[in-house]
Amino acid sequence: MYGLCDCNNFYASCERVFDPSLEGRPVIVLSNNDGCVIARSNEAKRLGIAMGQPYYQLRELMRQHEIAVFSANFVLYGDMSRRVMNLLRQFVPAIEVYSIDEAFLDFTGMNAELFDELGHRMARTIRQRTGIPVSIGIAPTKTLAKIASKLCKRYPKLAGCCLLNRPEDIEKVLNRFPIDEVWGIGRQWQRLLETHGIRTAQDFVRLPESWIRQKMHVVGLRTWRELQGEACIGFEQMPTTKKQIATTRTFDREVEDYEELHRRVAQYTGACAEKLRRQRSVCGEIRVFILANRHNENRPQSYESRLVKLSVPTDDTLELTALAARMLRSIYRKGYGYKRAGIVLSDLRPKEGQQCDLFDMADRTKHARLMEAVDALNMTYGRHKIRTAAEGPEPFKMNRNHLSRRYTTDWNQIIKVKA
């Protein structure tokens, strides 16, 4: 049996833990630079605020309702996530952290009669100890566990846990569950299924295997089987090293100047390379992208990106920064108001055990020592203390006008209690 524990409106819930006056009020959390909405409390959802909606579009709504707005406080959310995950580990033999607010649970070898009670106890304990409300779904497959967890959100009476195990219950649920909300059914498949009149998960299950295999291949077949209670997606217990490392930012204003864009991209490259070294990987590919303002129709629109494959995988900031600059130079165009840029490192592999390239001209040992020294200094004296010249004198400030305190990670920002 599998479980899925999903924290309800996680970022908004984190803010509420430390400011209980937000209970019952619409709460929204904005992306880096206060660009758009990345989390909503139920009250905010009911006002029709959409995921990803640009903040400036909400002005009218803000005037009419008392909406609490927060800049994303990832330091706080990360710490609260760690607490929730550690609690989950105390209840089941293994968990697979799926995202900052979601984890799969492995119930192998546990008494099936106790699942329901155990799930409810987990939900209660997490709520009491961290203040975070969670929805736990328990079912024979991961895909069904996801559905069960969503049911908890829809039906508060379930009190945070839904056990979906008996075939007749599963069928009853699938009969009413929209196919586009099923885990693994992307927008493209949703469109395909819609044209064939498939609306619910049960409609989908009734399709013949050959049809699924032909139109949706093995991946679709996996979802089809999982919905019928046959576990096809295994449990990954080991925290997998990331397959991709990215730093992307929306700017606080439009940027036309090449020099400034260059500095920003160099900063993202530096941050990515540091993350890469921290997980002891090297990357075989680097991508740069820049995006002109999409929300300003009077300006020319543009999205440009370049990818370079490296003949020798690397984790060297200097090498990656030079490559990023070359790519940026080739995609930058004068006269565009750029609003977003990013660096994506992919084709990641473990640093140890890399093959040498006979024609490699770089002195990798020397550079590795340099990077080690840079990382050590930045660890001791603070981030960005040692950086490439391309990054410029100081990091660009993010617009975070609604940032809450770092209640759990900074002694100067802990909760204040009136006595």
Using the minimum distance from each CB to another protein, give the nearer residue, 157 or 416.
Answer: 416
| Residue in 279, 302, 346, 378 binding another protein, rule: CB under 8 A | 279
Q: Rounded to whole angstroms, how far apart are CA atoms 37 and 336?
A: 25
Which string of x and - marks every residue 13-32 that binds another protein (by CB under 8 A)? Answer: -------xx-----------
Using the minimum distance from each CB to another protein, give the nearer residue, 49 or 348.
Answer: 348
Q: How far is the CB of 244 from another protein (least distance, A)?
A: 15
3-state secondary structure of 312: strand
Position 129 contacts another protein (CB under 8 A) = yes
Count CA within 13 A, CB hemisphere, residue 155.
Answer: 13
Using the minimum distance from each CB to another protein, give the nearer residue, 217 or 349.
Answer: 349
Position 374 contacts another protein (CB under 8 A) = no
Position 352 contacts another protein (CB under 8 A) = yes
| Residue in 37, 87, 92, 324 binding another protein, rule: CB under 8 A | 87
* Cβ within 8 Å of residue 378, ≥6 positions away: 274, 384, 385, 386
Cβ pair 287, 306 in contact under 8 A = yes
Using the minimum distance from each CB to another protein, give the nearer residue, 305 or 409.
Answer: 409
Position 73 contacts another protein (CB under 8 A) = no
Using the minimum distance from each CB to another protein, give the nearer residue, 15 or 34.
Answer: 15
Q: Rounded to whole angstroms, how far apart are CA atoms 308 and 383?
A: 27
Task: Choose the binding region for another protein from 95-103, 104-112, 129-137, 257-265 (rule: CB under 8 A).
Answer: 129-137
Position 416 contacts another protein (CB under 8 A) = yes
Q: How far is the CB of 34 from another protein (least distance, A)?
A: 25
3-state secondary structure of 325: helix
* Cβ within 8 Å of residue 355, ≥6 positions away: none
Nearest by Cα to 368 from 391, 352, 380, 383: 352
Q: At what angle do helices 74-89 and 10-18 cross, to 10 degrees?
A: 100
Residues 218-257 that bind another protein (CB under 8 A): 241
Q: Rounded to whole angstroms, how far apart are CA atoms 125 and 106?
A: 18
Cα 91 to Cα 7, 121, 316: the distances in Å are 16, 9, 41
Using the minimum distance from each CB to another protein, give the nearer residue, 165 or 279.
Answer: 279
| Residue in 45, 83, 124, 406 binding another protein, rule: CB under 8 A | 83
Position 402 contacts another protein (CB under 8 A) = no
Q: How far is the CB of 281 from another protein (least distance, A)?
A: 7
Q: How far is CA 129 from the centre of its chain?
A: 24
Find the DSSP H helices in 142-290: 142-154, 167-176, 187-195, 201-206, 209-227, 258-278
Q: How far is the CB of 406 from another protein (least distance, A)?
A: 12
The footprint of another protein (CB under 8 A) covers 20-21, 83-84, 86-87, 128-131, 241, 279-281, 349-354, 407-408, 411, 414-419
